């Protein structure tokens, strides 16, 4: 298979692939897997339904040949997947892949950071929505304090991994933590990314009134810090980045609610059970697992992926209204990855 660059119907190239390796998580965050919806009786995917590492590697090679340069492993909580460094090693040696990252809540990172780095992982995005132990325990739905996450941050630092901290901000819940988080990350030399609370899936009770917009957060930050705008470094860069003038640290915003970036979205998503999704907000997946397990050749898989991406028209955040939210089928973030 030769390399081929493919565009969707809105002329957006395929550049990034997010691979969910498991649908389980050890947290029950309110904006992702609320405990009242994902209780002890919730039925997760059986092992046989999950893509094997060999299947993920096979598909990743095809995606890279079609233009993917960056892969991020997600979940659920990806570190719950057994022997994850084995998968990272398989992916890291794919010719043409420039970057491989991981999104995690960080709790298990202190045990795995060194192994992941040796396997070829380059960076981690660690979710941390508050520095207050009581509030953080409330948000994660397990009463877990910040120490295991901060231990994971330190382990990632020691291992030499690039680190970004993700903070989902919900009005009336943790918006009081914006400045403490900014100060902590600035002092620690960590890029903090504020993420607008999103209407992913149908279980988190999202309301527009709960969203703290990028503009609101930015206006709060500039009361405390001098910021300068950074230009995007590549087409499809999600975060809007700023630089603290008195340090070497950046701060970013993921603005999928207030400032849509649909026009430059280059991301495909592969769910843990082998469905391709062309938008975080689109619940209509395209099966690739059973097609592969039923004997599809690499060329047939390649043609299937081209067909899916070239037919893509998703621009949900551009079109978000009460009516589109009501009528659009969505998939849960824990199933598709962030």
Strand bridging mode 123-127 / 162-169? parallel
pLDDT at 102: 98
Task: Say how many C-beta atoms besides its own lie within 10 A of residue 254's C-beta.
Answer: 20
Residues 89 and 115 sit within 8 Å (Cβ to Cβ): no
As a whole number, mean pLDDT of residues 142-149 equals 97
As a whole number, mean pLDDT of residues 122-130 equals 98
The percent of residues in the chain predicted with pLDDT above 90, rounded, is 76
47: its two tokens = 């092992």
Q: Is the pLDDT of residue 204 over 80?
A: no
d(CA 194, CA 214): 8
pLDDT at 322: 55
Q: Is the pLDDT of residue 94 over 80?
A: yes
As a whole number, mean pLDDT of residues 127-141 equals 97
Least confident of 39-43, 128-132, 179-183: 39-43
As a whole number, mean pLDDT of residues 280-287 equals 88
For the chain, the structural domain boundaries read 16-336
Q: Which of 203, 211, 160 is nearest to 320 (CA)?
A: 211
Residues 254 and 31 sit within 8 Å (Cβ to Cβ): no
As a whole number, mean pLDDT of residues 195-208 equals 77
Strand bridging mode 275-277 / 267-270? antiparallel
CA dist 17 to 8, 101, 336, Å? 15, 10, 12
Q: Is the pLDDT of residue 324 over 70?
A: no
As a whole number, mean pLDDT of residues 295-318 equals 94
The percent of residues in the chain predicted with pLDDT above 70, rounded, is 93
pLDDT at 321: 58
**Fold topology of 16-336:** TIM Barrel (3.20.20)
Q: Is the pLDDT of residue 277 over 90?
A: yes
pLDDT at 328: 60
pLDDT at 41: 86
d(CA 257, CA 66): 29
Q: Is the pLDDT of residue 26 over 60?
A: yes
Least confident of 4-18, 41-55, 108-122, 317-331: 317-331
Angle subtended by helix axes 84-92 and 109-119, to nearest 10? 30
Least confident of 14-23, 172-181, 192-201, 271-280: 192-201
Q: Is the pLDDT of residue 290 over 90?
A: yes
pLDDT at 326: 54
pLDDT at 260: 87
pLDDT at 281: 81
pLDDT at 136: 97
d(CA 222, CA 314): 34
As a whole number, mean pLDDT of residues 100-128 equals 98
Q: Is the pLDDT of residue 327 over 60?
A: no
Q: Which residues contact 172 (CB under 8 A, 6 or more apart)?
A: 210
Q: Which of 117, 116, 70, 112 is nearest to 94 (CA)?
A: 70
Average pLDDT taken over every residue of the chain: 92
- In this structure, the dihedral spanned by the alpha carbons of residues 170, 176, 181 and 186, taken in order and rounded to 10 degrees, is 120
Confidence of residue 330 (pLDDT cuts 50, 70, 90): low
């Amino acid at each position: 298979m030769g390399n081929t660059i493919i565009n969707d119907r809105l002329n957006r190239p395929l550049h990034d692939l997010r691979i969910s390796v498991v649908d389980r998580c050890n947290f029950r965050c309110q904006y992702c897997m609320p405990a009242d919806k994902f209780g002890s009786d919730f039925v997760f995917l059986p092992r046989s339904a999950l893509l094997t590492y060999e299947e993920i590697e096979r598909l990743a090679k095809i995606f890279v040949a079609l233009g993917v340069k960056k892969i991020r492993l997600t979940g659920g909580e990806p570190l719950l997947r057994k022997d994850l460094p084995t998968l990272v090693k398989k992916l890291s040696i794919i010719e043409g892949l420039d970057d491989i990252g991981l999104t995690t809540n960080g709790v298990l990172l202190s045990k795995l950071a060194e192994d992941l780095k040796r396997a070829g992982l380059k960076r981690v995005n660690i979710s941390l929505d508050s520095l207050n132990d009581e509030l953080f325990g409330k948000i994660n739905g397990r009463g877990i304090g910040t120490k295991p996450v901060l231990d994971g941050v330190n382990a990632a630092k020691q291992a030499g991994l690039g680190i970004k901290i993700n903070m989902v901000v919900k009005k009336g819940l943790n918006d009081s933590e914006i400045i403490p988080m900014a100060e902590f990350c600035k002092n620690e030399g960590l890029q903090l990314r504020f993420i607008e609370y999103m209407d992913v899936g149908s279980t988190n009770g999202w309301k527009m009134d709960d969203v703290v917009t990028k503009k609101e957060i930015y206006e709060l930050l500039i009361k405390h810090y001098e910021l300068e705008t950074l230009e995007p470094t590549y087409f499809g860069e999600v975060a809007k980045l700023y630089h603290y003038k008195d340090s070497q640290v950046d701060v970013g915003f993921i603005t999928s609610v207030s400032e849509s970036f649909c026009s430059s979205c280059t991301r495909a998503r592969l769910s843990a059970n082998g469905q391709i999704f062309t938008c975080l907000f689109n619940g209509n997946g395209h099966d690739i697992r059973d097609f592969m397990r039923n004997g599809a050749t690499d060329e047939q898989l390649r043609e299937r992926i081209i067909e899916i991406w070239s037919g893509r028209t998703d621009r949900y955040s551009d079109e978000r209204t009460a009516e589109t939210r009501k009528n659009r089928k969505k998939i849960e973030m824990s199933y598709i990855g962030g």
